[in-house]
Amino acid sequence: SQTIHQWPATLVQPVGSPLSLECTVEGTSNPNLYWYRQAAGRGLQLLFYSVGIGQISSEVPQNLSASRPQDRQFILSSKKLLLSDSGFYLCAYLRTVNTEAFFGQGTRLTVV
Amino acid sequence: AQTVTQSQPEMSVQEAETVTLSCTYDTSESDYYLFWYKQPPSRQMILVIRQEAYKQQNATENRFSVNFQKAAKSFSLKISDSQLGDAAMYFCAYRVDTSGTYKYIFGTGTRLKVLA
């Protein structure tokens, strides 16, 4: 069976510090991978998606970057966090065109 | 650009009653998928129901059904016999195929409260 792991679950970071959120998928190969951000009271905003190793597409200009060093690993990073980076971050994967996206349990990031 | 609009930030329903959540979308594509996801307080995103645009028949999953109006670009979710466990944020989503890459566009969500 396929599973998706996302960590950490919660994170409190000072402004200006670096960030690394990790997402891994098990039980499938060559998935489409996604990073979403959910700000308080708002919907899910697509940040990045990846169709393969080293292939990253950015949806919105921002202080964040993403990388896919392995087929089933997707990393969200920042060199210097801003207060506005606070939010709930969700990783998701799509196995095949005929299925829905499956989501990780999310990371609540608070930048202080 | 594809957009998804959920015009009801919050809805309430009495337990055992029926409620309909609205969703409209904008697209120039003829073939696509639509989804309703539920996000309970745990914040885990759970698929409720999905609809393929080429299918005219409305999707149904137990107490959940959709009213898909392709020409009007409308995709509403009906919850029958509402239960306390249905209380959650509900997101409507549209999946677009961009050169073989599948992107999900989400609405801003509707918070559903179920009253005992």
Chain A residues in contact with B45 by the CB 8 A cut-off are 90, 92, 103
Q: Which residue of B has its CA nearest to A105?
A: B44
Nearest chain A Cα distance for residue B48, angstroms: 10
Q: Do A43 and B100 count as a contact with CB atoms less than 8 A apart?
A: no
Q: What is the pLDDT of residue A100?
A: 84
Q: Which positions ≥6 away from B55 have C-beta within 8 Å?
A: none
Amino acid code (one letter) for B75:
F
Chain B residues in contact with A43 by the CB 8 A cut-off are 6, 91, 106-109
Q: What is the pLDDT of residue B94?
A: 92
Q: Do B104 and A101 count as a contact with CB atoms less than 8 A apart?
A: yes
Q: Which positions ≥6 away from A6 have C-beta within 8 Å?
A: A21, A22, A23, A90, A91, A104, A105, A106, A107
Q: What is the pLDDT of residue A60?
A: 80
Residue A11 predicted with pLDDT over 70 = yes
Lowest mean pLDDT among A17-26, A31-40, A70-79, B70-79: A31-40
B54 touches chain A (CB under 8 A): no
Rounded distance between C-alpha atoms, residue B15 and residue B31, angstroms: 36
CB atoms within 10 A of CB A10: 11
Closest CA to B96 of B26, B49, B39: B26
Q: What is the pLDDT of residue A2?
A: 67
Nearest chain A Cα distance for residue B51, angstroms: 10
Q: Do B104 and A34 count as a contact with CB atoms less than 8 A apart?
A: yes
Q: What is the pLDDT of residues B47-105, one digit of tens each?
A: 999 999 988 899 999 999 999 999 999 999 999 999 999 999 999 999 988 777 788 99
Residue B5 predicted with pLDDT over 90 = yes
B64 touches chain A (CB under 8 A): no
Chain B residues in contact with A106 by the CB 8 A cut-off are 43-44
> Which of B10, B31, B103, B110 to probe by mutation at the A interface, max A CB count within 10 Å?
B103
Residue B1 predicted with pLDDT over 80 = no
Q: What is the pLDDT of residues B9-30, one digit of tens each?
A: 999 999 999 999 999 999 888 8
Q: Is A37 exposed, middle or buried (0-12, 13-18, 19+ CB in 10 A)?
A: buried
Which string of DSSP letters, residue by residue, matches chain B?
--EEE---SEEEEETTS-EEE--EEE-S-SS-EEEEEEE-TT---EEEEEEETT--SPPEETTEEEEEETTTTEEEEEE-S--GGG-EEEEEEEEEEETTEEEEEE---EEEEEE-
